[in-house]
Amino acid sequence: MTMKIKPSQKNNKKNDKEFRLMEIRLSDINQDGNKMIVEGYAVRYNEPTTLWEQDGIEYKEVIERGALDNADLSDVPFKYNHSDTVMIMARTRNKTLELINDDQGLFIRAELADTTSGSDLYKLIKRGDIDKMSFAFTVEEDSYNRETYTRSIRKIRKLYDVAAVDLPAYDSTSINARSFFELEREKEQMLESINKRKQYEKDKLKLKLILEESE
């Protein structure tokens, strides 16, 4: 059974950022050697990913194709570790960061700034010290399948940034994603408790009728 989650039912607000990881690599098409180009898919559509596991249950998430069709992608920076204290490496506003929304997902191509920070980041990616990219976003619409423990993100409201990350704080999941699933677990436990109580009352009534008939 798939249940649509209305905004009022969510534990996290619409403006709460969530973070996910993808692979990052150097561009294979950079021939002149003068530009520092990195690329990769920031978002992959229709690929269920296990965010975390508890009590033998895998809680998954999938971003549906088309989730970014109406998202705010107007001004997206490329950062390092999502930090506001490190200089921005590239940006859509000046076209040093390209966002390509295709059938597979959101592909990004960033021309890193020719600065000490940009050069250092490029070298670390080239050596393989940094091989992950994270993206920050907020959810507009999602649903939850209780049978498969899968959250489907149908619409993304805003993409805040994409970032190269070295020690990702959200390697398994983000705080907001975890709170989403924990809320669903609480709902399931409550429903289970209610159903057990109803069954108890039914059994109690049945036993009472049996005893009355035997008298």
Structure confidence by residue, pLDDT tens digits, 156-176: 999 999 988 886 544 433 444
pTM strictly above 0.85 = no
As a whole number, mean pLDDT of residues 134-156 equals 91
Those residues with Cβ within 8 angstroms of residue 171's Cβ, 6 or more apart along the chain or in another chain: 21
* CA–CA separation, 136 and 87 (whole Å): 17
pLDDT band of 180, cuts 50, 70, 90: low
Mean pLDDT for 70-84 is 92
Tell me how many degrees the CA angle 35-36-37 measures, rounded to the nearest 5.
105
pLDDT at 49: 84
Return the number of other C-beta atoms located less than 10 Å from residue 176's C-beta: 18
- Kindly state the percentage of the chain with pLDDT values over 90: 32
At residue 107, does pLDDT exceed 80? Answer: yes
